[in-house]
């Protein structure tokens, strides 16, 4: 049996002896914790940074204008479902499409069309000067929020969309890029392409799994 330095009362260790006994243990724990933090810092990895859990999705689409067409015609883009959808009372979409009197495409964020039962979602649009292929990163700021945007065929627009799936994320937005390649006035149809990044807070607009 290991011997103990005994105090004067009933042979029990004094507080000083208890501290001496435990001090090395606390030292080991502190050193281990510090080493762990240094290891994390050395990796340059932020444990709270957004992480990708799915690849970006690219697709071509055809949609109808919201005006001058049948009420059940698919005239909106739903980013979460990655597809073109019709507009009904649920207002379950992100961007609706229209064609103005000059024959130009019009992008209409959700709030300019209606408010869903679940509540409004903020959607921003920003024109880009680069080509669709060279638009590889969503801007951090500068979006026109909840405002209609007239574009010309071939002009790229980046979308910042507030999504319910990002409710517990420090970055509550997903991003996408859209280009309307052509408009058919006789049928009031728009043909375009989109790349959708549903990883909350990540701004990469390149094919594959985003890194940022």
Which pLDDT score, from 0 to 100, does residue 69 have?
97
Residue 131: is its pLDDT beyond 60? yes
Domain boundaries of the chain, sorted by first residue: 1-47, 57-197
Question: Which residues are CB-contacts of 27 (< 8 A; sequence separation ≥ 6)?
Answer: none
pLDDT band at residue 49 under the 50/70/90 scheme: low
Query: Mean pLDDT throughout 67-80?
Result: 97
Which pLDDT score, from 0 to 100, does residue 53 have?
84
pTM over 0.85: no
Contact 197, 203 (CB under 8 A): yes
Query: Mean pLDDT throughout 129-145?
Result: 97
């Amino acid at each position: 049996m290991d011997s103990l330095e005994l105090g004067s009362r009933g042979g029990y260790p004094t507080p000083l002896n208890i501290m001496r006994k435990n001090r090395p243990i606390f030292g080991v724990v502190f050193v281990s914790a510090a080493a762990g933090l240094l290891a994390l810092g050395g990796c340059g990895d932020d444990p709270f940074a957004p992480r990708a859990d799915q690849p970006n999705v690219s697709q071509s689409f055809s949609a109808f204008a919201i005006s001058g067409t049948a009420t059940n015609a698919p005239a909106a883009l739903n980013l979460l479902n990655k597809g073109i959808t019709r507009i009904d009372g649920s207002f379950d979409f992100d961007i609706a499409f229209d064609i103005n009197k000059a024959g130009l495409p019009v992008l209409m964020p959700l709030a300019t069309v209606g408010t869903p039962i679940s509540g409004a979602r903020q959607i921003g649009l920003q024109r880009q000067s680069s080509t669709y292929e060279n638009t590889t990163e969503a801007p951090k700021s500068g979006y026109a929020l909840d405002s209609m945007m007239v574009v010309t065929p071939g002009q790229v627009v980046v979308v910042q969309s507030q999504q319910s799936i990002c409710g517990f994320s420090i970055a509550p937005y997903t991003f996408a890029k859209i280009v309307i390649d052509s408009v058919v006035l006789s049928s009031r149809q728009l043909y375009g392409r989109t790349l959708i990044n549903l990883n909350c807070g990540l701004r990469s607009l390149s094919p594959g799994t985003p890194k940022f």
